[in-house]
Amino acid sequence: MTRVRWVIGNWKQNLLRGPAEALAKRMVAEIPNQLLEADHRLRIGIAPTFLALDAVSPWTRPSGPLWLCAQDIAAQDQGAFTGEIGPEMLAEAGVKCAIIGHSERRNHYREPDILVGAKLHHALKAGFTCVLCVGEPLDVRNQNRHESYVISQLSNAFHQLENELCSERLIIAYEPVWAIGTGKTATPSQASAMHRTIRAWLLERFGPAGGDRSILYGGSVKPANAATLMAAGDIDGFLVGGASLDASKFLDIVHAAANG
């Protein structure tokens, strides 16, 4: 498999600066060099809160071992947008990667598809690596409408995206809402089937560059299920919430992604 594998820890609204720095430091110390050297197609990222970025930044490097990621990014660089932090400011803090459209932002803060698309477009144009999150809620899955729901999220997010912005810097994370923080993981076949659907859609929308994008799974990923998920095929790594707050669990998941 030539696609880049990613494992990204989304720390959400957890960890003050001290514990965030300690966790990053521990992760760096425990990532075996051989893993990264032997496998240049593996990337590992962490997304602390905005206020912990500078505490964590000395333990990350743009070329590895840890990528510094933001949990969100504004759709503009600066201006009268209270509370927002845009690409220029994040780049200044050493961030080159951003999570966009996480379901917690879509659901708790009512971020609409159009805003998710604007953030994605602006961040890609600014040179960021972007992790676009998609995923259906439980009622949609129960009504068997999950594929069309996710495809609609994709087509809205990519509405006006120029084809040249579909590159290695574009990553998709499939995170079914019902699996996030619930301990209820999608089965490997559910995850793999959705990843194939997403890949087929990207291929049709962008041509070969679309079909070659890394697609991550997120939602209650743990050391106990990571290898089985990888083995299902078409899963290029993970976006990890709760388990990423524990260095040894996170690194077990990294190993599963590297070996899968």
Q: How far apart are CA 203 and CA 200, in angstroms?
A: 5
Of the candidate residues 188, 210, 218, 237, the single one contacting ligand 13P (CB under 6 A): 218
Catalytic one of 102, 121, 146, 195: 102
**Rounded-to-integer distance, Cα 254 and Cα 260, Å:** 10
Q: Which of 56, 132, 229, 240 binds ligand 13P (CB under 6 A)?
A: 240
Angstrom distance (rounded) from CA 236 to CA 116 = 22
∠ Cα 69 253 201 (to 5°):
65
205 Ramachandran zone, left/alpha/beta (phi>0; psi -120 to 50)? alpha
For the segment 40-99, give every residue that binds ligand 13P (CB under 6 A). Answer: none
Catalytic annotation on 102? yes
Which residues sit opposite 98 in a β-bridge? 70, 130
Does residue 234 contact residue 196 with C-beta atoms inside 8 Å?
Answer: yes
Annotation says 146 is catalytic: no
Task: Spell out, one character per residue from 101 to 120, where the chain touches ligand 13P: x when CB under 6 A holds, - when not.
Answer: -x------------------
Interaction between residue 135 and ligand 13P (CB under 6 A): no
Nearer to ligand 13P by Cβ, of 206 and 235: the residue is 235
With CB atoms as reference, the residue minimizing the distance to ligand 13P is: 241
What are the residues binding ligand 13P (CB under 6 A)? Answer: 10, 102, 175, 180-181, 218-221, 239-243
Question: Which residues are marked as active site?
Answer: 102, 175
